[in-house]
Amino acid sequence: MMRRVGHSAPLSIAVVTSMLACAAVAQEPQKPLPFELFHGTTTIPGAGKEAAPTEEARTPGTPSTHQAGAEAALPADQASSDGLQPAAVEGVQAPYSEPTEESGFEIGEKMEVLEPYKLVRSLQFVQDAVVKGDHSAMEMQRFLIGVIDSRLREAEQEVFDDPRNVDAALIYAMSGGNPATLDILAIRDKFGNFDNEVTTVLRAYLNGRAAKTQTELTDVVEIYRDTGIGPYITLVAANVTASMNDVAALKLFDWARLTAPGTLVEEAALRRSLFIASEKNMIEEALHYAQMYARRFINSPYAGQYADLLVDLIQTNYSEIGEEGLSEILSFMDRPRKREIYLRIARKAAISGMRELAVFAADKAEALLGTNDATPQAMAELYSGMAKIPTDGVDGVLESINALSGARLSQRDRALREAAEIIASEVVRKPVLDSFTQAMPSIMNQPENEPDGENLNIAAGAAKKPGSPIFRRVSAAEEENRVAEEEAFKGYVSDRRQALERIDKLLE
């Protein structure tokens, strides 16, 4: 069944009233520290290894389950304070939750009888406000998702005679709602209000079977391209295509964001496009997406994922991008955010052994420090010091690293400092004179006996005889010395391996 193009309508008085009430009740998020302006939403293993669309491919238009949404909706400052790295390109997810008295909001009678499409329109308005920088709207986002879920589950079948309410249910499912609600609505549909082709594809996608929906999604995108759910369906199709490691996903992401400018859909599409372009080594395209995101959504609470993607892009391709390309992107950011990007680059470069880039980025970060920026200064000194460990001035570097105040560093950076101290200490540690390696006899001054070809043949023939030294029995004293030497060597290797393991654990 075909759906009609959705038309905009003013927000209802009841919804506006509830939004104002939410703004009054919602707790203002804690002001982030100067070096934590980019907030991550989830922890990811390796910001860039995406395969299945189960988590990373599910963006605001293509959410995962409400449990995954709850994880993605961690308060920004909480994620940063815990030292979490934002995850590869998780979409903006609001967690599904039943509205309760503890949420601080009350569901009035007018809210319960509102048409679902009006509630979903309010949800879209709130989500767009979130990605534009209104972090206080996140509580309202959670609340509205719970209200809409209850309204859809309790709605009579006649409610969905209005195509706008059908579209609202689909948009809700693709905007962080409870996937089980769409299952219920599809089962209850007795009058064919829901297009089976759409619901089947979406339900498969939301339940982790995206790989089986690629062909059907392409057809659905063409059918619903010019409808109200078009950008959302396209975003779903783009995520599925991206999970197949197909560069064609970029065209779908472009279409989705261009048909929904300034919205959650555009924000998610830009982040995903940056990731795909970076993975495909499309440097110019990646820089284009990075610049657009910095210009339009740098205040989004989900910009932490963008920051990680940008840092990976710069660190991997700095020889091609250069200082000019980086400065062009950072020109759209304020001073604290520029400083944090440089700090992130310095940290990643120091860990990766890119000494020149680490020192350059740390110096740039220090140049952007203010009078009260003690913590960022400590971070810059740490990363710069780590990069300088292999140089001649390692004694001074070790001294400066030891002088850093642990109170000014995060837990991750304190572990990093400890690892740097271990490495620097090993570099400057004096060798033990009676170590196993120095007890080995030197062969440098032994006379050179270079037998000619004839002598070599004679020696080879003699070696085959049973009486030759090759077959002689090793004495007990020689065997004892050999065992002692092996034990000493094993002990030396074991000590070095344990030192490396301690460093690896500190860097985890």
Q: According to the 3-state scheme, what is the secondary structure of 286-337?
A: HHHHHHHHHHHCCCCCCHHHHHHHHHHHHHHHHHHHHHHHHHHHHCCCCHHH
Find the angle CA(152)-CA(53)-CA(184) to the nearest 5 degrees: 20
Out of 87-96, 225-234, 400-409, 418-427, the most confident range is 225-234
Which of these ranges, 30-39, 45-54, 92-101, 160-169, has the smallest mean pLDDT? 45-54
Question: Do the Cβ atoms of 55 and 68 come closer than 8 Å?
Answer: yes
- The encoded tokens of residue 214 equal 């690629």
| Residue whose C-alpha is closest to residue 48's, from 376, 422, 315, 353 | 315
Tokens 């344990």 sit on residue: 498
Percent of the chain with pLDDT over 90: 38
Q: Give SS3 for 354.
A: coil
State the amino acid at position 32 in one-letter form: P
Per-residue confidence (pLDDT) for residue 399, from 0 to 100? 62
pLDDT given for residue 151 in this prediction: 95
Strand partners, 174: none
> Given this model, what pLDDT does residue 76 score?
36
Residues 43-52: tens digit of each pLDDT: 333 333 333 3
More confident residue, 302 or 101: 302
Q: Is the pTM of this model over 0.85?
A: no
Span 126-139, pLDDT tens digits: 999 999 999 889 99
Phi then psi dihedrals of residue 493, to 5 deg: -65, -40
User: In this structure, what are the phi and psi dihedrals at residue 43, rounded to the nearest 5 degrees?
Assistant: -95, 135
- Residue 433: what pLDDT? 55
Sign of torsion over alpha carbons 406, 410, 413, 419: positive
Tell me the percentage of the chain whose pLDDT exceeds 70.
53
What is the Rg, in whole angstroms, of the alpha carbon atoms belonging to the chain?
31
**Res. 281: pLDDT tops 90:** yes
Q: Which residue has the higher pLDDT, 313 or 301?
A: 313
**Domain residue spans in the chain?**
13-331, 334-429, 434-441+468-508
How would you class 311 by CB atoms within 10 Å of its CB: exposed for 0-12, middle for 13-18, buried for 19 or more? Answer: buried
Quote the mean pLDDT of the chain.
73
| Neighbour count for residue 304 (Cβ, 10 Å) | 24
Strands (E), 144-251: none
- Position 108 scores a pLDDT of 53
SS (H, E, C) 104-139: CCCCCHHHHHCCHHHHHHHHHHHHHHHHCCCHHHHH
**Nearest to residue 435, comparing CAs of 479, 383, 492, 370?**
492
Describe the crossing of helices 116-131 and 138-154 by its angle, rounded to 10 degrees: 160
Q: Which two tokens stand for residue 198?
A: 């759409």
Residue where the block lists tokens 């009233």: 17
Mean pLDDT of 176-204: 93
